[in-house]
Structures are given as C-alpha cells and as structure tokens.
Amino acid sequence: MGRLNKLKPFAKTYAVLIAAFFLSMTLVYCIPASWIRGNVEKSLEVMEAEGERPMYAFYRHSAFVDNHTDMVMYKSLIANREYYNPIQASVSINQYPRYWHGYQIVLRPLSMVFQVQELRYLGMLLFYLLFFWSAWLVAKKIKFLYAMLYVLTIASSYLVVVTTCFQYLTTFYVLFGALIWLLSRYEKDKPVNLMLYFFAVGMIENFFDFLTYPIITLGIPLIILLWLRVRDEQADFKGNFWFMFQSSVSWGLGYALTWIAKWGITVAVLGVRYFWRTMSVVQYRLAGSEEEPLDRLGTIRRNLKAWMNVQDGGIITWSKIALLVLVVVVILVLWKKLKDKKTVLACVPMLLVALYPYIWYLVMSNHSQIHFWYTYRAQLVTMFGGLVFIASILRTGQKEGTDTEYS
C-alpha cells in the first residue's frame, strides 16, 4: 500500500495533464478556420519568400532558421479535411498525429490577430523575459557565478536564431518555466516532490516537443538540483547518483507516457491505421532505413561539429580537444585547489548528466543525424554540467566547512 500511495500523485498528475492537453487542443480547433485563414496565408508567403533554412548573419549550418518546420506548424493551423470535427482535427493535425502539437493552443488563437512577423517579435520578448527571470532566480537562490554560467550556456545557442523560430522557442519556454517554478519554491526546509516535478516537466515538454532538443528540460534543472543537494544536504556520491537516476527515470516516464497517450487517443479517434503508421515512423527513427542507414558515432560527430561551429569539411581532432580540456582543468585545480574529496565525488553525477545528450544521440540517432543543425543544442546540458562541476569542486577562498563555502 505504501508504494501505491506514492504512485497516486503521479497517476493524478498524468490524468489531469493528459485531459488538459486533449481539451485545450480541442477547444482551439473550435475556432473557425475563416477567422485565421488570412493571417496564416500571409505568414506562409513571408516564410516561403525567406526559404526553408534561411541564414541571417553567421552563415553556418548551426545558425539555420528552421522555416520548414515553422511552415508545417502554420499549415497545420487550418485542417485540410473540412469534414473533420474539432476533436478529429486536433488529433490528426493534417495527418501528422504522432506529436501532440501543443504549440497550437497559443499559435492558433494569436493568428486571429497577428501575422508571423508580429508573433516572432512577441516570441522574442517572451523569451528574453523568461530567460532573464530564470537567470535572476539562479543568482538569487544559488550564486551570481552560476547565473553567469547559465547565461553563457544559453547564449551560446545562437539566440538571435532561436528567438526567430517557433520550433526552437518552445523547448526553451518549457525549460525557463520549469526553472522559474522550481527556484521560486525550492527551500531547504520546505521539501518539494521533485520526482513529480520531473515527471510533469517531461509531460509538458512532450506536449510541445518536435524532438528538437528536449533533454535540456531534464539536464539543466537536474544539474542545479544536484548542486543544491550538496550545498543544503551535504549529499554524497551515492545519494546524488540515486537522485540523478530517479529524476531521470521520472522525466523519461512522463515524456514517454505522454507520447503513448497521444497514440492511444489517435487510435480511439481516427482508427487503428494511424497507429501502424506511427509505429513505422518510430521504427524508422530507431533503426534507420536503407536510404538513411544509422551512423551513431557519425551522429555524435555531426552534432559536435555543429556545436563547435566547425564547417562541414572541417575536422575535429579528438586528441587536441581532450588535451585542451585537460590543460584548462589542471590549471584551474593548481590555481584554486580542490575541495574535500566528499564534495568532489558528490559533484561527479553532474558530469554524468553532462553525457545525456550523447545518450540521446545514440538512441535517437536517425533524427539527430538528419537534423543535427538544431539537435546540437542538446549539448547545452554538456556545457552547463561541465562548467558547474568545475566551479563546484574548486575552493572559493573561504575555509572549508564554513557556511559561506557555498554562499
């Protein structure tokens, strides 16, 4: 009974969120297509003139704007089968039913008033508002240094590009919202059900996600919490490793079960044939095809090159990168010196979380090797985890064991 009672909040959260997702999608498809058709058509004209992958300033494949997906999002605003009722239209999304397409609950109502140029501007404003708010909370609840590391990490993702592409924005919105909620409520003496938190974040990310770089909504909050556990609870390696594992499983279950719910609703509303179509796509994403065979190590290499801004013909020399990282770490260690062994070991799970993007690339290799020019942003987790780990294991000048060591 004890275990069942612990599962009740998860079951309740799952039921409430799935119902909210389904009902919100149905409600926005009650908006008549005639109310948004003009703005949608004018917006598509703008994006078609720009091209499917425009580049504005940097002229690197890591700075593409994904107009192709944004145009798919806009075309999905108007159901291509007029005989569908709102429930069928909201589940089908113009025969693209394997995703929830949660962006519709915002994009469809706003398209009654605005065109793409105006929505890009509003999206940019909201992005920076949430970004600065979350960074301020990191500085307030943790340290100014860690807020700067967080800002540096997010800023490295070509923000001028991210803020002009709806597909890129949604995952960052989920990340910022998750951090704001967490840091606004986190107190040492006021426990929060963090497993339920990660479960809900995984569900919400799946609702909006296109497999863009969802792992950042797990990795960045988890790294922050691992640091807070060391500061507030003096967690050791075993405790933090177990926390990391449980949190990751909770997020993964929320993400996966939300997908399964969408497939189940699709079958109930549109028929079983859509399930088999979805399963064929899942098989393709996991196993590749004869035309696009999987190259898992090549996928990691492509995403690394995009992240490091290396041209298509450029070469990444692994030994030189490893040597450079080693030299930087050695200099920092000699200059600052390490904290006590327990603290260093307790921070090691941060490095394990930093590897999550590469696990994602290995599992979702097909998608990540085709769309490397935006999936590379998953490595923000790697950057943030590495920076926070280094900052966490070095002495700060105060005497060990004092309360100001982590202040």
Kindly report, residue by residue over 136-184, the tens digit of the pLDDT.
Answer: 999 999 989 999 999 999 998 889 899 999 999 999 999 999 999 999 9
Nearest in space to 222 (alpha carbons), one of 241, 207, 203? 241
Pair 77, 150: CB distance under 8 Å: no
Q: Which two tokens stand for residue 79?
A: 């159901």
Higher model confidence: residue 332 or residue 83? Answer: 83
Q: Is 243's pLDDT higher than 70? A: yes
Structural domain harbouring 49: 2-406
Pair 366, 294: CB distance under 8 Å: yes
Q: Is 332's pLDDT higher than 80? A: no
Number of domains in the chain: 1
Give percent above pLDDT 90 in the chain. 57
pLDDT in tens, 14-34: 999 999 999 999 999 999 999
Tell me the mean pLDDT in the region 99-116: 94
Higher model confidence: residue 253 or residue 315? Answer: 253
Rounded (10°) angle between helices 237-270 and 273-287: 140
Nearest in space to 110 (alpha carbons), one of 73, 143, 85? 73
CA–CA dist 61, 27 (Å, integer): 38
pTM above 0.75, yes or no: yes
Give percent above pLDDT 70 in the chain. 87
Q: Which amino acid belongs to residue 178?
A: A
Pair 92, 79: CB distance under 8 Å: yes
Cross-strand bridge partners of residue 338: 394
Most confidently modeled range among 17-21, 231-235, 280-284, 342-346 = 17-21
Cross-strand bridge partners of residue 394: 338
Helices (H), 236-371: 237-270, 273-287, 296-307, 318-336, 341-354, 356-363, 365-370
Pair 208, 165: CB distance under 8 Å: no
